[in-house]
């Protein structure tokens, strides 16, 4: 527990109105979307909501002086426990850092405080005919800083990329309270110094609190078209996507869903229209794709894609396409009919988020079903996102339902994650592509990183010598033992 003297010291630095200690405030910051037992709570001792970099610095200086754990918290949509204050201390809510500093239309950049949500940022950019094409499903709550800290996925990664492709520079507050700018101003490329701003990508707040960023942004495309193609296997869909890219077409988004995941959209169609969609029994996967740009180019791309993907079957029911697009981009969901509202009301969502080399994804899909069954886990379905420009670049959600009624049932899920992670390494892949280490993979991730994990710990000491930022994250696990 923080004593009143420390609480009063924080209030004196940033203002009484920016500090909360009441239980009903603390409870709201006690868990994120990571699978945890239903009665599992991790209350911070205090919640602070600074609105400037300088205020963040003052809070961190006090935390560093008294060795108080600090957990940066944004939209709480993460699935790895990264925003859970497992060691109490200070919950530093970043959404008070929500101001846009500059929209530079001439240089296609935006400089903004990092606590603004992705949705709000794009609403403001739209006034200038621009957008930041990082587009997670959680964009109404997910913040710019969290997107960088977690390096999470986006709908449009295969054309525009992810954080490493957007982030030009950032301002952070280190674990000692020092304010530090890293990066290369508004230049798109540099070969001077170390790219310290890239260290922030996926660091989950362990190196510093991101308070300000400059991002590359783009003109809003004139038009967009979305289609779906059915294939006989995951591998056929992957091969089809590769042919599309090699043909020269500029694909805006590309997601491959297995048969189980496709079932969410066909079920919604049946419930709404009272009839079966024309989905052949042989269909084991679906490739959803979109193109954007000038209208003539988009129309040509759609027509040429039909030729390239002729060994698949184009989905006839536009309602299925629109249902998928709503879940990934527009978010115009029908309550209790489309997948997330109903599934989250009845069962919890969990995932092993693996990166698998493209030639081994079909094998990984088959192992996924076996490993889930072994751990008494119900399969939700697999989705292959693609997150780097102009290439098949799999970031895969091996999703399952999680029973959170007892700690034992939740542990079954993390046993599943452990086995799936080991399978990814055996196939020369990675344990995580968008959720991060959080409090689930830390320590266990030495299987992937080996001796390099020790170098990572040394880097953390440079930025955070007293280990007050996110202690217990990335290097320790609450759920999986090494």
Given a contact cutoff of 8 angstroms between Cβ atoms, the answer to whether 55 and 212 are in contact is no
205 and 167 share one domain: yes
Q: Cα–Cα distance between 237 and 383 in angstroms, integer?
A: 12
CATH number at residue 248: 3.30.70.3450
Q: Is the residue at 480 inside a domain?
A: no
Buried b (16+ CB within 10 A) or exposed e, 73-97: bbbbbbbbbbbbbbbbbbbbbbbbb
Look at residues 95, 115, 130 and tell me which one is the last residue of a structural domain: 95
CATH number for the domain including 69?
Answer: 3.30.43.10
Q: Cα(first)–Cα(last) distance of the chain, in Å?
A: 31
Looking at the structure, tell me whether residues 27 and 136 fall in a common domain: no
What string of pLDDT tens digits covers the 482 residues of the chain? 789 999 999 999 999 999 999 999 999 999 999 999 998 989 999 999 999 999 999 999 999 999 999 999 999 999 999 999 999 999 999 999 999 999 999 999 999 999 999 999 999 999 999 999 999 999 999 999 999 999 999 999 999 999 999 999 999 999 999 999 999 999 999 999 999 999 999 999 999 999 999 999 999 999 999 999 999 999 999 999 999 999 999 999 999 999 999 988 888 788 888 898 999 999 999 999 999 999 999 999 999 999 999 999 999 999 999 989 998 999 886 654 545 445 555 678 999 999 999 999 999 999 999 999 999 999 999 999 999 999 999 999 999 999 999 999 999 999 999 999 999 999 999 999 999 999 999 999 999 999 999 999 999 999 999 999 999 999 999 999 88
Token pair 């992937």: residue: 448
Number of domains into which the chain is organized: 3
Could you say which of 322, 340, 358 is where a domain stops?
340
Residue 133 and residue 180 share a domain: yes
Question: Is the residue at 468 inside a domain?
Answer: no
* pTM listed for this prediction: 0.95
Which structural domain, as residue segments, surrounds residue 119?
96-219
Cα Rg of the chain (Å, integer): 22
């Amino acid at each position: 527990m923080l004593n009143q003297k420390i609480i009063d010291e924080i209030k004196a630095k940033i203002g009484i109105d920016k500090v909360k200690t009441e239980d009903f405030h603390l409870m709201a910051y006690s868990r994120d979307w990571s699978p945890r037992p239903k009665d599992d709570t991790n209350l911070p001792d205090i919640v602070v909501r600074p609105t400037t970099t300088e205020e963040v610095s003052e809070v961190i200086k006090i935390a560093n002086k008294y060795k108080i754990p600090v957990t940066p918290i944004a939209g709480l949509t993460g699935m790895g426990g990264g925003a859970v204050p497992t060691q109490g201390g200070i919950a530093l809510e970043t959404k008070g850092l929500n101001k846009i500093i500059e929209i530079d239309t001439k240089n296609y950049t935006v400089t903004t405080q990092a606590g603004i949500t992705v949705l709000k940022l794009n609403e403001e950019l739209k006034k200038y005919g621009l957008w930041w094409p990082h587009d997670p499903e959680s964009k109404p709550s997910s913040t710019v800083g969290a997107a960088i800290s977690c390096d999470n996925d986006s709908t449009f990664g295969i054309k525009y990329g992810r954080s490493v492709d957007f982030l030009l520079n950032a301002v952070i507050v280190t674990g000692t309270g020092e304010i530090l700018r890293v990066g290369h101003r508004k230049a798109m490329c540099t070969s001077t110094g170390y790219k310290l701003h890239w260290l922030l990508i996926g660091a989950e707040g362990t190196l510093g609190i991101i308070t300000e960023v400059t991002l590359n942004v783009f003109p809003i495309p004139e038009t967009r078209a979305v289609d779906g193609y059915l294939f006989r296997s995951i591998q056929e869909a992957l091969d089809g996507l590769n042919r599309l890219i090699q043909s020269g077409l500029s694909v805006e988004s590309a997601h491959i869903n297995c048969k189980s995941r496709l079932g969410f959209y066909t079920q919604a169609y049946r419930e709404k229209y009272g009839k079966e969609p024309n989905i052949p029994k042989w269909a084991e996967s679906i490739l959803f794709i979109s193109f954007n740009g000038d209208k003539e180019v988009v129309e040509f791309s759609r027509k040429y894609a039909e030729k390239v993907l002729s060994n698949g079957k184009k989905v006839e029911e536009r309602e299925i396409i629109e249902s998928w697009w709503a879940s990934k981009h527009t978010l115009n969901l029908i309550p209790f009919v489309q997948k997330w509202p109903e599934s989250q009301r009845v069962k919890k969502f969990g995932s092993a988020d693996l990166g698998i080399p493209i030639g081994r994804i079909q094998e990984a899909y088959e192992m996924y079903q076996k490993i889930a069954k072994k751990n008494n886990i119900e399969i939700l379905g697999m989705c292959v996102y693609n997150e780097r420009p102009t290439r098949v670049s799999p970031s895969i959600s091996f999703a399952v339902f999680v029973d959170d009624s007892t700690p034992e049932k939740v542990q079954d899920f993390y046993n599943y994650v452990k086995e799936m992670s080991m399978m990814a390494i055996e196939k020369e892949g990675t344990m995580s592509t968008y959720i991060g280490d959080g409090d689930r993979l830390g320590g266990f991730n030495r299987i992937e990183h080996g001796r390099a994990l020790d170098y990572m710990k040394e880097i953390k000491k440079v930025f955070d010598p007293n280990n007050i930022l996110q202690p217990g994250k990335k290097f320790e696990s609450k759920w999986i033992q090494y």
